[in-house]
Structure 1
Amino acid sequence: MLTLRPSLERGHANHGWLDSRHSFSFAEYYDPAHMGVSSLRVINEDWIDPGAGFEPHPHRDMEIITYVMQGQIEHRDTMGSHSVLRAGEVQAMSAGSGILHSEFNPSDTKQLHLLQIWIQPNQRGVTPRYDQKDFSDSQGITLLVSPDGRDGSLPIHQQASLYQIKLDNETAQFNAEPDRTYYLQLARGTLAVNNVPMEAGDGATLSGETQLSLTADQQAEALLFELP
């Protein structure tokens, strides 16, 4: 079964320096029908102005994933991590027992475009952890995040995996587990999932499926979550 979440039905907040679309309830946007899917709690699509960003703020007991689509993001945290992620790079941070971090667009001229993702962990109070990796050269279906860091993916504290899908005028097949829940977020382009067309910004919850057929008539980029 596939349930579509159209892009324009997402929550919207414009703070001037930050323009954000919320797939699920977040901050001042509240919709009891869209509180997340399984352990997936937040997908925010953010556009951040040059030189702007989030001042140091706390998190705990959350797996936070940042997927950079355009521009750069500068990260600092109380673990001593300091890095700049560029388009195609992914950041995974386990907030665990507690962490402070800041995220800024370091450019003077270019807008930052990213997906901010929160996954609820299956362990509380773990030691905070930070990882990042460049997946910009990946094509097809690529594992980005997993519980055990297999196949070069980034580890998180949850029985959930995140795949990148990058297709160019082609069809790919994904073997699904019928007892798992899947959520697909289309980042760019158009994509048909089991013959259901999707446009950029759309999301879809899939359950009870054994096979996902993914067809792109042109270039398409998506994130596919496999959830408990």
Structure 2
Amino acid sequence: MITTRSASACGLADFGWLQARYSFSFGHYFDPKLMGYASLRVLNQEVLAPGAAFQPRTYPQVDVLNIVLQGEAEYRDSEGNHITVREGEALLLSTQQGVSYSEINASKDRPLTRMQLWLAACPERESPRMQKIVLPAGQSTHLLASPDGVEGSLQLRQQVWIHQIELAPGEQHQLPLHGPRAYLQSIHGSLSASTGADHQEKLSCGDGAFLQEEHQIRLEATTPTRALVIDIPV
């Protein structure tokens, strides 16, 4: 089963220094029916004005994945760790209790645009505190994060696989799924998603889709498309 969630139905914020779209309840946006999806707790697309910053804050026990779409971000924690992440790169923060984290748009003249995901972390698992990878250009599918860090992916503290899909118009890709739940997020472009011959959904820029009890998903782009498939078996 595929159930779409249009970008227009998501929560919105505009604070001047920050513009955001929230797929699930976050901040001032609250919907008791949308508190996350399995271990996927947060999925935001946010734009920070030049020089804008999130002040130091703590997190619940989650892995925080930031995918920089435009600009350059600096991340610091209260233990003295520091890292810069640029367009075309992704950062995973394995957040810790009692540690605060800050984020700043490092540019004084360009906005910072990024996707941010929070995934519930298993308390018995350990991963590096800050992990960064460069996303390959011109590759139709790339394993962005996984439980074991295979294929050079970021290592999560949860049984979740996150794939980035980039397709040209008319190009197709079929992806097997590990378990009963997955979430599809269009970052930009228009595409169709199907799990069989009898069920197809169309998504546009910013749309998402819940997948339940499916073993695979087939994507076909109608325009240049970039999307995430978040495979969440538990």
- How high is the TM-score relative to the length of structure 1? 0.94
CA distance in 2, matches of 1:110, 1:18: 13
Q: Give the SS at the match of 2:29.
A: coil
Tell whether the 8 Å contact from 1:60 to 1:98 is kept in structure 2 after alignment: no
SS at structure 2 position matched to 1:185: strand
Match for residue 204 of structure 2 among 199, 206, 209: 199
- Name the SS for the 2:109 alignment partner: coil
Q: Following superposition of structure 1 onto structure 2, how do residues 156-175 of structure 1 map, counting pairs within 5 Å?
A: 156-169=156-169, 170-175=171-176
Deviations 1:98-146 (CA, angstroms, capped at 9, x unpaired): 3211111111111111111100112269577111111142511110111
Given that residues 141 and 166 in structure 1 are in contact (C-alpha distance below 8 angstroms), is that contact kept between their aligned partners in structure 2?
A: yes
1:171/1:18 CA distance change after superposition, 3 Å: same
1:69 paired with 2:69, answer yes
In 2: Cα distance, 1:127 partner to 1:165 partner: 25
Percent identity, aligned pairs only?
37
Q: Quick check: 1:183 aligned with 2:188?
A: no
- Which amino acid in the other structure matches residue 174 of structure 1? L
Aligned-pair CA distance for 1:218: 2.4
Per the alignment, residue 7 of structure 1 pairs with 7
Residue 225 of structure 2: aligned partner: 220
The answer (yes or no) to whether the contact 2:187–2:227 under 8 Å persists in 1 is yes
1:21 corresponds to: 21
Ranges in structure 2 where 5+ consecutive residues have no aligned partner: 195-199
Q: Which residue of 2 aligns with 1:114?
A: 114
* Structure 2 partner of 1:56: 56
1:44-92 Cα offsets, whole Å, 9 max, x none, are 1101100001011122411110011111111111343222211111101
- Report which stretch shifted further, 17-26 or 121-130: 121-130
What amino acid is the match of 2:94? S
Q: 1:159-206 CA deviation, whole Å, 9 max, x = no partner?
A: 1111101111201111224x3310011101111111311011111010
**RMSD across aligned positions (CA):** 1.6
Which secondary structure state, in structure 1, belongs to the residue aligned with residue 61 of structure 2?
Answer: coil
Q: How does 1:25-40 map to 2 (within 5 A)?
A: 25-40=25-40
Distance in 1, matches of 2:104 and 2:175, equals 35
Runs of 4+ in 1 over 6 A off after TM superposition: none
Whether contact under 8 Å (1:70, 1:112) holds in the other structure is yes
Is this contact kept in 2: 1:187–1:221, CA < 8 A?
yes
Change (3 A) 1:83 1:191: same
Alpha-carbon separation, structure 2, partners of 1:157 and 1:138: 28
Task: Report the alpha carbon displacement of residue 27 of structure 1 after superposing the two structures with TM.
Answer: 1.2
Q: Is the 8 A contact 1:26 1:42 kept in 2?
A: yes
Matched AA of 2:18: L
Q: Which has the higher strand share?
A: 1
